[in-house]
Amino acid sequence: MDRQRTIEIIGAPSDLGANIRGSNMGPASIRIAHLKSKIEQQGFKVVDLGDLHVPIRESLMDEVKKECYLGPIREICKNLATITEGIMDRGNIPITLGGDHSVAIGSISGILRHFEKKKQELGLIWIDAHADVNTPTSSPSGNIHGMPLAVLLGLGHDELTSITSKKLRPQNTALIGIRNIDVEEKRILRESGIKFFTMRDIDEKGMFSVMREAIEHASNGTSGIHASFDIDGIDPRYAPGVSTPVSGGLTLREAHLCLEMIYETKKLVGMDLVELNPVNDINAQSANVVVDLILSGLGKSIV
Ligand SMILES: [Mn+2]
């Protein structure tokens, strides 16, 4: 990625996809950790587009709550898709700050629409403790932040799958760091055809070799790779500020290596950083981790 390119930051402060409150404060916390100035120090031009409008949960009706906020999440994701598509059309790099992971339906739909116009394929690397491939019938909770990857593959609520007609290609989609999958979700994951690398795979092969394989899948026949990074993919020892911590996750260095290697492909088109929950953070430790990870994805090296 050449440093003449402009980074455009968009905040998506929604926690409507989750039961646990607080990830809506993620964008503010990441900005307070000096995101813009630190990216600028790496030589990029940065435009911060601010935050999307997201309705306050308390202002929404009980019927909306019963549907797990499907209506407002659709509006948020549609608006976000329009924005990330525009950023891509301008030749710039979208960095989406969540918010819970449901916002990736918006960011990635926009990127897919851009790729559709260019008749090109997109590769995706999704880092997460969870697989996020639940559907309304498989999900125990109905919470939409457990469904975004399924939606982008074309499975689930029509209100969400219809945001982009172009879908992810499973053979170009890699899921990394998973360690907590719902019973029904395991079947969907196996049948989906996406490439997945569990924490056990990382234990056995090491992160370097897992990332080489993941990048190979995401690169094969594609002209760009998007990284969707759920902060709960990292072990809660290093990033406690998430809504749904699961122990046994990526070390800090494994997380950095992941983004350093994606950067080195020179195919990175955009990033999501989601599920940071400042309510559970300790002295902004996790927010600082998020900023450092973004810098690794943009080519910061140790020496
Ligand atoms: Mn997730």
Q: All domains of the chain, ordered by start, with CATH?
A: 6-297 (3.40.800.10)
Rounded to the nearest angstrom, the distance between the alpha carbon of 14 and the centre of ligand 1 is 14
Instruction: Give, for 87, the enclosing helix (H) or strand (E).
Output: helix 70-89
CA distance 193 to 75: 29
For residue 5, the model assigns a pLDDT of 86
Say which residues have a Cβ less than 8 Å from residue 64's Cβ, sequence separation at least 6. 70, 71, 72
CA distance 34 to 46: 12
Residue with tokens 């935050």: 51
φ and ψ at residue 173, rounded to 5 degrees: -115, 125
Q: What is the pLDDT along the chain (303 residues), one digit of tens a residue?
A: 666 789 999 999 999 999 999 999 999 999 999 999 999 999 999 999 999 999 999 999 999 999 999 999 999 999 999 999 999 999 999 999 999 999 999 999 999 999 999 999 999 999 999 999 999 999 999 999 999 999 999 999 999 999 999 999 999 999 999 999 999 999 999 999 999 999 999 999 999 999 999 999 999 999 999 999 999 999 999 999 999 999 999 999 999 999 999 999 999 999 999 999 999 999 999 999 999 999 999 999 888
How many DSSP H helices and E strands does the chain contain? 12, 8
Residue with tokens 């953070």: 281
For residue 1, the model assigns a pLDDT of 64
Residue 301 contacts residue 266 (beta carbons within 8 Å): no
Determine the residue type at 61.
Answer: M
Residue 220 contacts residue 264 (beta carbons within 8 Å): no
Rounded to the nearest angstrom, the distance between the alpha carbon of 137 and the centre of ligand 1 is 18
Rounded to the nearest angstrom, the distance between the alpha carbon of 230 and the centre of ligand 1 is 5
Closest to 113 measured CA to CA, from 92, 90, 88: 88
CA distance 53 to 121: 30
Closest to 131 measured CA to CA, from 57, 182, 68: 182
Rounded to the nearest angstrom, the distance between the alpha carbon of 231 and the centre of ligand 1 is 8
CA distance 293 to 142: 30
CA distance 184 to 211: 27
Rounded to the nearest angstrom, the distance between the alpha carbon of 132 and the centre of ligand 1 is 6
CA distance 248 to 235: 6
CA distance 98 to 119: 28
Residues with active-site annotation: 101, 128, 130, 132, 145, 230, 232, 275
Closest to 299 measured CA to CA, from 49, 31, 93, 30: 93
Rounded to the nearest angstrom, the distance between the alpha carbon of 252 and the centre of ligand 1 is 18
Residue 197 contacts residue 176 (beta carbons within 8 Å): yes
CA distance 219 to 173: 9
Report helix, strand or coil for 289: helix
Rounded to the nearest angstrom, the distance between the alpha carbon of 40 and the centre of ligand 1 is 28
Rounded to the nearest angstrom, the distance between the alpha carbon of 273 and the centre of ligand 1 is 10
